[in-house]
Structure 1
């Protein structure tokens, strides 16, 4: 018989389930976080829970926030269990469950006045966010896009914002007007130089309606860069059932993740911060080498296995790694084209790092899906693949594997797998991508003419020629035969 998760039932949980080493009444707020999804709860919320259980950071509890109506469903689930989350860490040889209690409130999503008022209170010293790579309103050059309709709307109506950045601006404005120091804005998304990007989007929006306020933000608000890493798949009935059957806990929205976690952070918090280093966070003067390594080797590696696996109807990531062709494609591309374009990282051996990545991708218990890795390629390819491709061409290095990866993504966006199965829409721009991918079957250059993704790279024959060749082979012979050719086996 499983136990329904709630504060009242904590003591009734099975003995093999960890629980907070503190009372909820001992906590007070310090951080407001936008984007209370699985990654946030497996990462920042977990680090805070670890500190709180050790008697630290109890005045840094989390207040959740969101800007989309769809987030109300998750909030309702968490509210029904007193904001508690069960975190299940899974490795091939172990599974461990613990209840996290580091979040103490979750403001009703899309309630801008309430969210702004909460940010304006002096106990909130950090505002953090996980809003996905596509949520920063960037153009094809990764610069702030002032023409985006959401930014135009918030700039025209700054007092009634609907975006994260519009709400943060109003929270900062309220603090400035009240004579309170500004909170630190901490990005936890997988974006190169994520603190800088967050600052540029926030000040870019401010400058559209109040240039003086934008200057004040530049002079007074801190945006530390960070690199975050933990494989955290979406929650389905599969995870809820495993939790109930194996651990005896009923949780409407548990989080399953791998055992590995990493957080590299710059120490720039004028109003203070939790002692994250005591929970394993690595503070460094410059995050850039770590984030570049992760974005290219891990995120680029995810893209490398995603599209061939998707085209071959493979469901789970660990099943993709069990496929000899996919696994060999990943290793060859990493060793010959990706890792040679990753600069040295302090105290890190890139070959050891890739070996770790390979083991993490192969974890049979995570249940991460290939479809999740294929998601949002129009935003992810320009961040995880195209920069490596650009550097390889600049250094006159090989790009056959990167061209094949790009061709695999194009073939996936045509909307059917090799078996003819329909691929359901899997990108915010899916309706625009599909006709271009279908046109590229006859004229491959059509795909590379997407300047928002490739810029001028499509004009470089060193990339365009192998891309066209691989794409033609994918259509004519299929994914498996094409991978064998690349690997020298066919």
Structure 2
């Protein structure tokens, strides 16, 4: 067998003919997007859309400069630097059709811990019109109880002491925009692509709160020279596994140390609120709207909530992947009932999109046997996911005196999940920033079920709602004595 070729610009033109390679000249691409947080999701989503726009419509003015700011990102930085920013995107349909494509839209790369001033200078460059982000919720440094920016976060204190060696994204942005102001350069659009409610508004509030504390004189200029569109992003993208790397090498003779696997369905909806010229993403399927909220609620309360539910129920049953849980008719039946009876009444129609069709497609996506998405990934940081994806539905249903049965069951199952043992007595790790608090509250709930609901940062005052607590207590008592499978069948069949 011939040796596999390392993925880089030198070899890209001689790769396996069954792999789609870029046809454009990267030397002609102008970098005007700086993206912070070069995650698998960014590479399956925003970088993919930009590649498609360059490839299909010759829009060469919006190449991406990738930027990573965390010490833990050193590995992906080293890999992509060695590969000239190239990586393989493998799209897997439920019907078994796979497409393999080399993505070439990341044309520069910087690593903050290695050279923070180089990152600050790049962000301050007038060529950069958009700074986009996938930094996950913890990158916004929100107070777990109030949801507001946490001025007392240790990383913020470090930024104040060492402003030119920042630890937060806000520290980098502050220094970059100070340079822009000093040099008479205009601001730019900051585009959050994170999976959080009102991501643009959240970014704006957090950034402006940070600046008001560390450099208040900059704030008036920022207000006039930045915009923060909200956006909704949607593509199922699991963690890359060693077998993915091996399969690419065996099937296509490509040595890519960090390919990306994703489902074929992809959606990106953005509020059209850009300070300067923006890419014409609508040419490759991106939808621009005036108000993102209806689309966002649909996605968060169906897809993200659905993932979370399958993660909790599936883990308790001993499953390891999303598709295993989704192909269990009892669990997928429970999820369909939750969507139909509890989520759908809370949603409003969205323009040019059928929620019923989205829901149907979602079930197919969850069942995709070719996307090896681990339940452990889905359940990571559940303390942030439950309040964002499940509890808004509970709140809306309670206000209308409508059913919250399935949501209460999910919360009870999550309490049991935090015991750390499945129904076959196999233990699993609880990966959460407040894992100690979750585990302790779950332990206390054996004597008093309401103790779990007293985690204020998650449930606020839900522990005082008699309708919810009655259902939750009933379900938790049963789940403690029976398997999760038996519990679902007993209450919801």
- The normalised TM-score by structure 2 is 0.96
The equivalent residue for 1:323 is 328
Residue 136 of structure 1: which of 119, 123, 140 is its match?
140
The equivalent residue for 1:54 is 56
Three-state SS of the structure 2 residue aligned to 1:480 is: helix
The equivalent residue for 2:102 is 99
The equivalent residue for 1:289 is 294
Q: CA deviation at 1:419?
A: 1.3
Q: CA RMSD in A?
A: 1.4
In 1, Cα distance between the equivalents of 2:285 and 2:341?
32
Q: CA deviation at 1:55?
A: 4.4
In 2, Cα distance between the equivalents of 1:109 and 1:200?
23
The equivalent residue for 2:382 is 377
Three-state SS of the structure 2 residue aligned to 1:107 is: strand
1:47-86 alignment to 2 at 5 Å?
47-86=49-88
In 2, Cα distance between the equivalents of 1:426 and 1:305?
17
The equivalent residue for 2:129 is 125
What count of residue pairs does the alignment treat as equivalent?
488
The equivalent residue for 1:445 is 450
TM superposition outliers: structure 1 runs of 4+ over 3 Å = 155-160
Q: CA deviation at 1:3?
A: 2.5
In 2, Cα distance between the equivalents of 1:425 and 1:365?
26
| Residue 390 (structure 1) aligned with residue 399 (structure 2) | no
| Residue 347 (structure 1) aligned with residue 349 (structure 2) | no
The equivalent residue for 2:471 is 466
Three-state SS of the structure 2 residue aligned to 1:89 is: strand
In 2, Cα distance between the equivalents of 1:279 and 1:347?
16
Residue 109 of structure 1: which of 109, 112, 129 is its match?
112
Residue 278 of structure 1: which of 268, 271, 283 is its match?
283
The equivalent residue for 1:214 is 219
1:4-83 alignment to 2 at 5 Å?
4-83=6-85
In 1, Cα distance between the equivalents of 2:221 and 2:470?
49
Q: CA deviation at 1:170?
A: 1.2
In 2, Cα distance between the equivalents of 1:153 and 1:292?
36
Q: CA deviation at 1:112?
A: 2.1
Three-state SS of the structure 2 residue aligned to 1:106 is: strand
Three-state SS of the structure 2 residue aligned to 1:232 is: coil
Consecutive unaligned residues of structure 2, counting only runs of 5 or more, are none
Whether the 8 Å CA contact 1:155–1:206 is kept in 2: the answer is: no
Q: CA deviation at 1:6?
A: 1.2
Whether the 8 Å CA contact 1:21–1:54 is kept in 2: the answer is: no
1:331-370 alignment to 2 at 5 Å?
331-370=336-375
In 1, Cα distance between the equivalents of 2:267 and 2:431?
28
Whether the 8 Å CA contact 1:97–1:247 is kept in 2: the answer is: no
Q: CA deviation at 1:134?
A: 2.8
Three-state SS of the structure 2 residue aligned to 1:18 is: coil
In 2, Cα distance between the equivalents of 1:117 and 1:321?
47
